[in-house]
């Protein structure tokens, strides 16, 4: 008899999450490149030492900046059912988190400055788990509001504690 497999969640992040995640990557790649190139140009003796790290940052950072957000979009999934919320994300190590509604302690909707710029929000579902909260990021604001409200309603309606 085969063991049951966990079905992938049905919903993806909003498409606007791709440029948001790209900008997040660019916030470390571009300054790192700028500093290394500037040091290579400004320091007269031994400036070639700084171009090696600049090339390494460009060779690693630029593909990560351009490819990772698209891959993250394909693998950043979530779903809310009648009894639990399920989030899956990851690249090499894929993490599926399922939080029974009877274990939910708080439901928060957050929006950082970049998320606000892209019209996105994150829903954070806190349980008593030692693994920390279940985070669903890259959601349209309306979707995040609806999800947070629905999770709050279902959590409130679930009187018993999970066994």
Domain residue extents for the chain? 12-73, 77-157
The answer for residues whose C-beta is within 8 angstroms of residue 81's C-beta and 6 or more apart is none
Question: What pLDDT, on the 0 to 100 scale, is given for residue 2?
Answer: 56
CA distances from 80 to 84, 96, 101, 126, 143 (A): 6, 13, 10, 14, 12
| pLDDT tens digit at each of 163 positions of the chain | 555 566 788 899 999 999 999 999 899 888 888 887 777 777 766 566 667 777 888 888 888 889 999 998 999 999 998 888 999 998 788 888 998 988 899 999 999 999 999 999 999 999 887 788 999 999 999 999 999 999 988 887 766 654 4
Q: Are 136 and 98 in contact (CB under 8 A)?
A: no
User: Which CATH number describes the domain made up of 77-157?
Assistant: 2.30.29.30
CA distance 141 to 31: 30
| Token couple for 64 | 């990560």
Question: What pLDDT, on the 0 to 100 scale, is given for residue 37?
Answer: 76
The answer for residues whose C-beta is within 8 angstroms of residue 145's C-beta and 6 or more apart is 109, 121
Q: How far is CA 131 from the centre of its chain?
A: 16
| Token couple for 113 | 């400055």
| Nearest residue to 118 (alpha-carbon basis) of 49, 2, 18, 29 | 18
Q: Which helix (H) or strand (E) segment is 124 a member of? A: strand 120-127
Sign of the CA dihedral with 120 first, then 122, 98, and 147 last: negative
| Token couple for 100 | 């029974």
């Amino acid at each position: 008899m085969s063991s049951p497999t966990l079905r992938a969640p049905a919903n993806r992040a909003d498409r606007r999450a791709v440029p948001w995640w790209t900008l997040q990557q660019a916030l470390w790649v571009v300054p790192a490149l700028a500093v290394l190139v500037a040091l290579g140009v400004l320091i007269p003796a031994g400036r070639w030492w700084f171009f090696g790290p600049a090339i390494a940052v460009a060779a690693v950072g630029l593909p990560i900046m351009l490819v990772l957000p698209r891959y993250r979009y394909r693998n950043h999934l979530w779903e809310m059912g009648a009894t639990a919320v399920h989030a899956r994300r990851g690249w090499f190590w894929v993490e599926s988190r399922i939080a029974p509604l009877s274990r939910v302690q708080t439901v928060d909707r957050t929006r950082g400055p970049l998320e606000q710029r892209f019209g996105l929000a994150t829903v954070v579902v806190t349980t008593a788990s030692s693994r920390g909260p279940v985070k669903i990021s890259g959601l349209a604001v309306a979707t995040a509001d609806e999800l947070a409200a629905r999770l709050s309603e279902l959590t409130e309606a679930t009187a018993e504690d999970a066994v």
